Structure 1
Amino acid sequence: MHPLLNIATQAARAAGGNILHHLDRIDQLNVEHKGKNDYVSEVDKEAENTIIQTIKKYYPDHDIFAEESGASKKQGKPSEVRWIIDPLDGTTNFLHQFPQFSVSIAVEVKGKVQHGVIFDPVRDEMFTASRGSGAYLNNRRLRVSQQKTLDNALLATGFPYHDFSYIDAYMASLKSFMTSTAGIRRAGSAALDLAYVACGRVDGFWEFNLKPWDIAAGALIIQEAGGLSTDFNGGDNYLTSGNILAANPKLYKEMAQTIGKTVPNELRK
């Protein structure tokens, strides 16, 4: 395992321990509203601090880009390495004790994501990947599914929950996929949805308007598992646009055609 990936897994597991410690005392937590249907708890902050402290112990000069604390850079020349962190993806699920949430950590080197970790502390499942070295679940090699057509496919997605400006386009895509697949799942953690594409539990995933920390690790894990993860135009701008489409290569083409038919050009940037 690459040293950077090793530290990422250590940090993710430590944060997962923080999260599980608080799972049975939800009613005692301090919870803040960042915006409509957008919450942050003391557990998010504690988990993020644990991750950052673990990283800084070994790599004090690396840059940090985290959901709760934002961007952190050392003075002077920027580091070539940046850690992209979501300490608790699925906070709303966690606050309802709905067991679908995760820790997501990606490591970007010279502007390109090279390592990714998604950790599900409830199931003790650690999804990992390093560019060019494959993807793994608890040390077992991962491959995306072999599903070839939409009619038998199980897809995952995320509903709009605080920005509803694109809801019509989303609903058009949802309607098309609902009527042409075996089913749609909306579990509430985009990072885990992407991990599930990588291991074949779902055949594809699409969502609008995500943040870099939601998808940086998962996109790489899918690619290393033999899948495709792109923006809605088939490019690699998903960390900027927040729009991501992911699937095995055979199914990806059909999903992309549906997105092309249902999502206006101005929303596919």
Structure 2
Amino acid sequence: MEDPWQKAYDFAVAVARKAGAEIRKAGESEIRVMTKSSTVDLVTKTDERVEKIIISSLKEEFGEDAHCFIGEESVAKGEPCVLSDKPTWIIDPVDGTTNFKTKKNFSFELLKDDLFKLSFVEFGVVYSCLEDKMYKARKGKGAFCDDEPIQVSDMKDINKSIIISEHGTDRSPEKVTKIFSTMQKILCIPVHGLRGSGTAATNMCLVATGAVEAFFEIGIHCWDIAAGVIIVKEAGGILLDVDGGPFDLMSRRMVSANNELIAKRIIKEIEIFPVGRDDAPAEK
């Protein structure tokens, strides 16, 4: 029987490489940056151009109206962020724009594509284009870095674990206080280390490869983590809400970990603060 998703999966990898070439080219020239929602949430013309490349390539391959799209730049311009019954691609053209803009940590500039079918992830692709590493996974078929299988760490001792997180872009004093209080409490468990790469996609791939034991964040968006969801799951990891409940892609809150023991130990220390859902109705 023909695999209905293999063509889309293979094409996603090809489009990721195509867009990655565009990102590398942009990195070789002067990058003009404009402010998006705050001074720490930066967007370049590269984001917009790469998202257009991805969407136009997918429409050309599969048909103008065959699939739906949720793109970071499209949503920023007012497009809805809703998962429908149609196959839906969730796209973050350049994850880690601040790293990209400052020409630091080039391994963290990522492009990612995800296809959802009736809200169930079928596959995910994260391309670390400047180090030419392709992370990918298909539902029920495992996770890979390039063509090598990857697997989460088997560590069960929280004191020997490396945890990874990010500060997000909200700089309201009450939220910043809770973020740093959470980090302090996790450090004092104690854990072996607490780090951050600058991008949620990289952080989730680090969990999937076993380089770290867990990643948590409040305030992320669905396009930041959608590809990583299937990659972590297929590598043997788990995902939970920061309150210990089931993971919800649109909630903007997540703990991804190598196992439930590590995840739930971290969750005990997380100070939760409210964030609006990605699929919340737009304010009029």
Give your verdict on TM over 0.5.
Answer: yes
User: Which residue, out of 43, 48, 55, partners 1:45?
Assistant: 48
The percentage of aligned residue pairs carrying the same residue is 28
Partner in structure 2 of residue 241 of structure 1: 251
Partner in structure 2 of residue 85 of structure 1: 91
Shift of 1:181: 1.1
Partner in structure 2 of residue 35 of structure 1: 37
> Which ranges of structure 2 fall in alignment gaps of 5 or more residues?
278-284
Count residues in correspondence: 260
Partner in structure 1 of residue 24 of structure 2: 20
Deviates more, 1:55-64 or 1:231-240: 231-240
Question: Could you say what secondary structure the match of 1:108 adopts?
Answer: strand
User: Which residue, out of 169, 176, 186, partners 2:185?
Assistant: 176
Determine if the alignment matches structure 1 residue 66 to structure 2 residue 68.
no
Determine if the alignment matches structure 1 residue 211 to structure 2 residue 237.
no
Residue 140 to residue 259, structure 1, CA distance change in 2 (3 Å)? same
Aligned counterparts of 2:137 and 2:168: Cα–Cα separation in 1: 28
Aligned counterparts of 1:39 and 1:5: Cα–Cα separation in 2: 30
Aligned counterparts of 1:64 and 1:150: Cα–Cα separation in 2: 39
Shift of 1:163: 4.5
CA contact (8 A) 2:186 2:269 kept: no
Partner in structure 2 of residue 9 of structure 1: 13
Aligned counterparts of 2:13 and 2:52: Cα–Cα separation in 1: 15
**Structure 2 counterparts to residues 182-193 of structure 1, below 5 A:** 182-193=192-203
Aligned counterparts of 1:168 and 1:10: Cα–Cα separation in 2: 42
TM-score by length of 1: 0.90
Residue 258 to residue 233, structure 1, CA distance change in 2 (3 Å)? same
> Which ranges of structure 1 fall in alignment gaps of 5 or more residues?
none
CA contact (8 A) 1:17 1:121 kept: yes
CA-to-aligned-CA distance 1:204-262 (integer Å, 9 cap, x gap): 1111110000011101100000000122133444322111101111xx32432332344
CA contact (8 A) 2:237 2:258 kept: yes
Shift of 1:161: 2.6
Aligned counterparts of 1:116 and 1:82: Cα–Cα separation in 2: 12
